[in-house]
Structures are given as C-alpha cells and as structure tokens.
Amino acid sequence: MPDSFFTSQKTRKRKRSEPSGSKTIPKKSHTFFPKSKNSKPLLNNGSAKRKRNDEELESDETNDEDGGVDDMVLRVDTEDEDAESGDEDADETPAEKRLRLAQLYLQGVKEDMGLADGEFDAAEIDKELISTRLKQDVMEHSGKIHLFVADSFDFSRPAPSKRFSKGHRLSVTSAVVSESGRYLFSSGKEGHIIKWDLSTGEQIKAMHKVRPANADKKGKGRALDPDAQGHTDEVLALTLSSDGKYLVSGGRDRKVVVWDADECKWIKCFIGPTGHKDGISAVSFRVGSPQLYTASFDRTVKVYDLSPSVMGCVETLFGHQDQILALDSLRAETCVTVGARDKTVRFWKIVEETQLVFRGGGRSKIREVLEGGLRGEEEGDEGDLDSRATNFVEGSLECVAMIDENTFLSGGDSG
C-alpha cells in the first residue's frame, strides 16, 4: 500500500459514464452549415460570437422579418477575388508588372492633363525649346561651345571689297577691332594710335606721340617722363576691353597707357614701380572682365585690375628665361605666353599661382619616333634619302593664340 504521507488529501471526482445514446461535445468546436454546391467555408465559433454581439447592438435598426442571428449564414466572399488576383499574379512577370504600373501612371498623368491619345502640350514643348536655346546661348557666351564657321568662307576668291587708308607714317605694329565691328584701332612705329570707322574707312581721331618735357637733356636727365599723357616711343601692342570702354596700349617706352575708347582721352599710365622695366611686347584683356595681362621684354607678366575702385597692378608673374614676345587670354583667369629663345610656352593659372611649361624646339629619340624619324629602318634605301633631307631645328617661339580654355597654338622661327 502506498504510504499515507504521499497520499493526496483531495477527493477525486469519479468520471461519470456517459449513456450510449449521448453525443460527446468538444469544448472548442467549429459549427458548419450543410454544404451546397456554391457553399463556402464558415467562420469559426469565436468570430461568430463577436459578429453576434455586433448584430445585437444594431438590432434596433434591423427588421424582425430578417430573422435572428442563428438564421444568418456568415461567409466571406473572397474566393472569387482571390482566384482572380492569384491567376493574375501567377501569370504576370516582374517586368510585365513594372510595365503595367508605368502604363497606369502615364494614363493617370494624361487624364490629369486632359490629353487624348496622340495629343501633346505645345506650351511644355515651347518651354523645353526655350530652355535649350537659353542653355546654348549661355554656353556660347561663356566660350564652352565651338562654332565651326571656316567652311562658310570661300578663300579661293578675292575679297569683294578692299579699302586702303593711309594714316601711319611708319610700319603698323598692332590693330584691334571692337566687338561691335564698327571701329578699328591701329598703332605704328611713329608712336601714333588712330581710331578708324570701318564702314567708311575714315579716321575718327588720333592719339599722337607726345614729346617728353626733358627731351633736350642728356644722360640721366633724359629719363622717361611719367607725367606725359601718351607714348613717347614706338607703340607695340593694343587691346580693347569687351565692353568697349577701355583701350590699353603698350610701347617701347615701358608704359602701359589706359585710354577712353569712346573719347580717345588719356586716363592713366602705369610706369615705374607699378610697371615694367623694359618695353611692353603684348597686352590682353580677359574676356568680359576689367582684368588686364601685360608681357614685357623684362621676362615678366603683370596682372592689372582696371575697375574704378582699384585701377592698379595686383600681381607679377616670373618664369621665362628670355623676353616674352606674345600673350593671349580668354574668359578664364588664365593666360598663355611664349618666351622667344627659352623655347617654352607657359600656361599661367592666376588663381592657383602656378604655371604649366611646354617646351619646344628640342630633338629627342621619342620625338623622332612620334614624328616618323625612324621610318628609314623600316623602308630600307628610302630611309637614306629621308636622312639626307633638310631638318629644321626650332630656335625661338614667337607667337601664340588660344583656341579655347584648354587648347592653344604656338609658332616658331622654324616655320
């Protein structure tokens, strides 16, 4: 017998035997209605109870003829919808789905705009065209687009009209045309600057060479007169600002002179501490800016700011080993110069205070390969004829011109 200590004091209930005719009802069961051909699964008993409570709250609004909750068949009509969506999702690939959604989006946009198939909005197209034209104009004005116009000229025929005008007594050293194409400024070795009307070919005004006050003195007494309002020697270079307001000239008298282009009047002269120590060989305005670049035989490049609030020299650039013969610039804060017999082209970056040096005139094995100098080794006897041909060695770089902000051309005495 089991020990009384381990015996439970609770009374156990005896399980009653159920009669044979009774049915066992589980605690949790699902009630199902008889199935018909179109019958659908019913909700469980718990959901039916919650639904019954909701129906009791709304019993005041229902009619007695509709019957009670027990007579209602609670079904969810989702079989057809699930079948349709399931079939559609099963047959549709991701690419087709994206295409369908895109078509729906476009159709919605078209409905919002009120456009039928094949129609277009003229206002939107005009906006796009205007935007494209404005963008192109800005790029042309900023120098970021190329316009090829050389093919439109026929150089085989002589010019339709020529006009000869005499104004300088000696050789013409420089000439510059205004952006409007109405006026031409020219300079000569006699020291005069003449303004011309291009439509008529007549002189408008002349800025003559001035006689210095100490011209009769000798030795050091004949030093340059900084107060002279004009050039006292040959004028070698001219440049005109983009707005046509300032004309700048440089000469052998070491002066950089600023003129009023409209009135042909003297404004300011840079000489001495703010100028060069030798003759001025080249001058150039930065396009669309009052910034001026000058080059000299003293091997330096100076940067001037001609805005009314400054009107002075702001920087001096060193690097060339020989006199500078040419200078050019465009819209960016850069300029390019050539240094004669130092055989270099220097690309100056003003803001970064750096320079790129391009050397020319030398001979090397790599250059001979690039220029076809080793063709004789492959062509046999013809190479002997090529080797006896005249070779030109470049000794001086004398001119330069910028094509765009990153491309330029240079020329030397080798041709």
The number of angstroms, rounded, from the C-alpha of 46 to the middle of its chain's C-alpha atoms is 71
Q: Quote the pLDDT of residue 106.
A: 76
Return all residues near 229 (Cβ < 8 A) that are at least 6 apart: 210, 266, 269
Which of 130-144, 147-161, 188-202, 383-397 reaches the highest mean pLDDT? 188-202
Two structure tokens written together for 224? 């340059």
Which is more confidently placed, 89 or 44?
89
In tens, the pLDDT along 355-387 reads: 999 988 766 666 666 666 555 444 445 555 555
pLDDT at position 234 is 94
Sign of CA dihedral 211, 213, 217, 218: negative
Pick the CATH number of 172-216+224-362+392-412 from 3.30.930.10, 1.20.1090.10, 2.130.10.10, 3.30.365.10: 2.130.10.10
**Contacts of 412 by beta carbon, 8 Å cutoff, 6+ apart:** 343, 360, 361, 394, 395, 396, 397, 398
What span, in angstroms and rounded, lies between the C-alpha atoms of 279 and 300?
A: 11
Mean predicted confidence (pLDDT) in 102-112: 76
User: 205: closest CA among 185, 229, 177, 230?
Assistant: 185
- In this prediction, residue 262 carries a pLDDT of 93
**Range in 37-51, 213-227, 315-329, 343-357 with the lowest mean pLDDT:** 37-51
Q: Which pLDDT belongs to residue 43?
A: 46
The whole-number pLDDT of residue 236 equals: 96
| Inter-residue contact 313 to 277 (CB < 8 Å) | no
**Which pLDDT score, from 0 to 100, does residue 46 have?**
54
Q: Name 207's Cβ contacts closer than 8 Å, sequence gap at least 6.
A: 192, 193, 194, 195, 230, 259, 264, 266
41 vs 19: CA distance, rounded Å: 33
Highest mean pLDDT out of 42-46, 131-135, 174-178, 382-386: 174-178
User: What is the Cα–Cα distance from 182 to 120, expressed in whole angstroms?
Assistant: 46
In sequence order, which ranges of 92-245 are alpha helices (DSSP H)?
A: 94-113, 122-141
State mean pLDDT over 86-113. Answer: 76
pLDDT class of 237 with cuts at 50, 70, 90? very high
pTM of the model: 0.62
